[in-house]
C-alpha cells in the first residue's frame, strides 16, 4: 500500500510539474480544487523550468505526456485517435506518441534478443538495424533472417526493458486513486473508474507478452487470407518469444501520409472506405478483428494492399453478438430505428421494461442529426 501511495505521489508530481493544466485551461477552466492540487504538488525550491513559447500548445502537451511516462503516453495515444473530441491539431500532434518516442539503445535490444532467443538464433539474424519506430511499450528494428534457405526482410519488435514492472506499478497506483475517488466522491461511481483502469491494465499486460500478439496475428492472417486487398504479415515463430516478435517487413506508406499516397495514385477516400468494409467484415464474419486501428497501425504496401500491424489489442465477438451488431448497423443505415430498438431489447442491451417506441424515438434523436454528416462535423462529446 505504501509503495502504491509513493508512486501515486510521484505521478501527481509529474502531472503538476507538466504544462498540462495551462494548456487545458485554454479549452476549459479548471475547478479551484484542481488548481490547488497542482500548486501544492508543483512546489519546488528550484527555479521553475521556462515554458518554450516557440512551441505550439499541442506540441507542449505532447512533450508533457511523453515526459510523464508509459501510462500517460497510453492515454495520449488513445486521445490521438479521437480528433472528434480533442480537435484535429491536437490529435495530429499526439500521433507522435504512437510510434515516434525516444528509443532504447541497439545494445540493449541485442541483449534482450540473446537472453530470450539464445545465441544461435541471435547469430542467425543479419543486419539488425537501429530502431526504426519506438512506441510506449516496444520498438521495432529492421533485419534479415534465413528462413529455410531464403533470406527475408523482417521487422523485429522488442519490448522496452523493465516495462512490465514500471507499467504495473503505475497502473496499480492509479487503481488505488480510482478506488479512493469512487469511495469519497459518489458521483464518480457512474464513470466506473476502477473498471476502466482494470481494463487498461488487463489489455496492456496482454500487449506486453508478444507471444499473445504473435498468436493473434497468426489467427488474423488465417481468417483473412482470401480477402482481396488485405494482407497480414507472416509471423516467424523461431524468432519470437515473450519479449521479441519477428514478422514480415512491410514496404509501404502509413495511411496518415495522405499526400504521399496521392502521389502514388492511391485514393485516400477509397482506402478509408475499404478499411471500414474490412473491419466490419472481420467483426461480423469472423468475430475477430483489429481493435487498435489508429493511423500508425495501418500501411498501404507497394501493391496497394491494406496491411495492418500491431496486433496487441484484438476484439472478439461470439455468434449472437455478431448477429446483433450486424442488425443494429443495418438498422441505422436503413434509418429503421424501431428495428434497432427491438434488437437492443432482444440482445439485453437495455432493460426489458423499456417501451420499444420510446427507445426508437430516443435512437432517432441520436441517428438523424449525424446521418450523412462528415466525421469532422460530428461532435463526439455531444453524441
pLDDT in tens, 141-156: 999 998 888 899 999 9
pLDDT at residue 2 in the model: 75
Cβ-based neighbours of 253, under 8 Å, separated by 6 or more: 260, 261, 264, 266, 299, 300
Weakly modelled stretches of the chain, pLDDT under 70: 14-35, 37-39, 41-61, 67-69, 71, 78-79, 81-87, 90, 95-100, 375-376, 379-383
End-to-end CA distance of the chain, in Å? Answer: 39
Cβ-based neighbours of 184, under 8 Å, separated by 6 or more: none
286 is catalytic: no
Grid look-up 508530481 returns 13
Taking each helix axis as running N to C, give the angle between helix 319-334 and helix 337-347, from 0 to 180 degrees, rounded to the nearest 10.
Answer: 160
pLDDT at residue 304 in the model: 92
Residue 152 phi/psi, 5° resolution? -125, 145
Query: Rounded to whole angstroms, how far apart are CA atoms 113 and 242?
Result: 10
Contact 245, 215 (CB under 8 A): no
DSSP codes joined into one string, 176-244: HHHHHHHHH-GGGGGGTHHHHHHHHHHHHHHHT-HHHHHHHHHHHHHHHTT-TTB-PPPB-GGG--SSE
Which member of 267, 292, 310, 357 is catalytic? 292
Segment (H or E) for 284: none
Q: Tally the C-alpha atoms within 13 A of residue 21's C-alpha that lie toward its C-beta.
A: 19
Query: Rounded to whole angstroms, how far apart are CA atoms 346 and 351?
Result: 10
Cα–chain center distance at 225 = 24
pLDDT at residue 43 in the model: 62
Query: Rounded to whole angstroms, how far apart are CA atoms 214 and 167?
Result: 21
Residue 294 phi/psi, 5° resolution? -80, 175
Query: Rounded to whole angstroms, how far apart are CA atoms 198 and 193?
Result: 8
Taking each helix axis as running N to C, give the angle between helix 2-17 and helix 32-41, from 0 to 180 degrees, rounded to the nearest 10.
Answer: 100
SS3 (DSSP) at 10: helix
Query: Rounded to whole angstroms, how far apart are CA atoms 113 and 275?
Result: 34
Q: Classify each residue of 331-362 as buried b or exposed e, where b means 16 or more C-beta atoms within 10 Å of its C-beta.
A: bbeeebbebbbbbbbeeeeeeeeeeeeebbee
Q: Tally the C-alpha atoms within 13 A of residue 289's C-alpha that lie toward its C-beta.
A: 19
Amino acid at each position: 500500500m505504501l509503495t502504491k501511495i509513493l508512486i501515486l505521489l510521484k505521478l501527481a508530481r509529474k502531472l503538476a510539474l507538466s504544462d498540462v493544466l495551462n494548456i487545458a485551461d485554454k479549452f476549459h477552466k479548471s475547478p479551484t480544487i484542481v488548481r490547488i492540487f497542482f500548486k501544492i504538488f508543483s512546489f519546488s525550491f528550484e527555479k521553475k523550468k521556462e515554458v518554450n513559447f516557440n512551441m505550439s500548445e499541442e506540441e507542449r502537451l505532447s512533450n508533457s505526456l511523453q515526459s510523464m511516462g508509459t501510462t500517460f503516453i497510453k492515454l495520449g495515444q488513445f486521445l490521438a485517435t479521437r480528433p472528434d473530441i480533442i480537435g484535429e491539431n491536437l490529435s495530429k500532434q499526439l500521433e507522435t506518441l504512437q510510434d515516434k518516442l525516444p528509443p532504447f539503445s541497439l545494445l540493449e535490444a541485442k541483449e534482450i534478443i540473446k537472453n530470450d532467443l539464445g545465441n544461435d538464433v541471435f547469430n542467425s539474424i543479419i543486419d539488425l538495424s537501429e530502431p526504426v519506430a519506438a512506441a510506449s511499450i516496444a520498438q521495432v528494428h529492421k533485419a534479415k533472417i534465413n528462413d529455410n534457405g531464403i533470406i527475408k526482410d523482417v521487422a523485429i519488435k522488442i519490448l522496452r526493458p523493465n516495462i512490465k514492472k514500471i507499467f504495473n506499478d503505475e497502473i496499480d497506483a492509479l487503481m488505488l486513486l480510482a478506488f479512493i475517488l469512487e469511495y469519497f466522491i459518489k458521483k464518480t461511481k457512474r464513470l466506473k473508474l476502477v473498471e476502466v483502469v482494470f481494463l487498461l491494465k488487463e489489455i496492456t499486460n496482454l500487449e506486453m507478452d508478444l507471444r499473445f500478439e504473435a498468436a493473434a496475428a497468426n489467427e488474423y492472417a488465417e481468417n483473412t487470407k482470401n480477402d482481396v486487398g488485405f494482407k497480414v504479415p507472416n509471423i516467424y515463430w523461431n524468432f519470437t518469444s515473450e519479449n521479441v516478435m519477428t514478422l514480415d517487413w512491410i514496404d509501404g506508406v502509413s495511411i496518415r501520409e495522405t499526400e504521399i499516397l496521392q502521389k502514388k495514385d492511391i485514393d485516400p477516400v477509397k482506402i478509408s472506405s475499404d478499411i471500414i468494409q474490412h473491419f466490419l467484415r472481420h467483426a461480423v464474419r469472423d468475430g475477430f478483428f483489429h481493435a487498435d486501428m489508429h493511423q500508425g497501425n495501418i500501411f498501404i504496401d507497394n501493391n496497394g494492399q491494406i496491411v495492418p500491424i500491431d496486433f496487441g489489442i484484438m476484439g472478439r465477438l461470439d455468434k449472437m453478438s455478431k448477429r446483433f451488431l450486424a442488425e443494429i448497423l443495418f438498422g441505422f443505415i436503413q434509418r429503421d430505428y424501431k428495428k434497432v430498438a427491438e434488437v437492443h431489447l432482444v440482445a439485453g442491451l437495455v432493460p426489458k421494461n423499456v417501451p420499444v417506441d420510446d427507445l426508437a424515438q430516443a435512437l432517432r434523436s441520436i441517428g438523424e442529426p449525424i446521418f450523412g454528416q462528415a466525421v469532422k462535423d460530428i461532435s463526439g462529446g455531444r453524441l
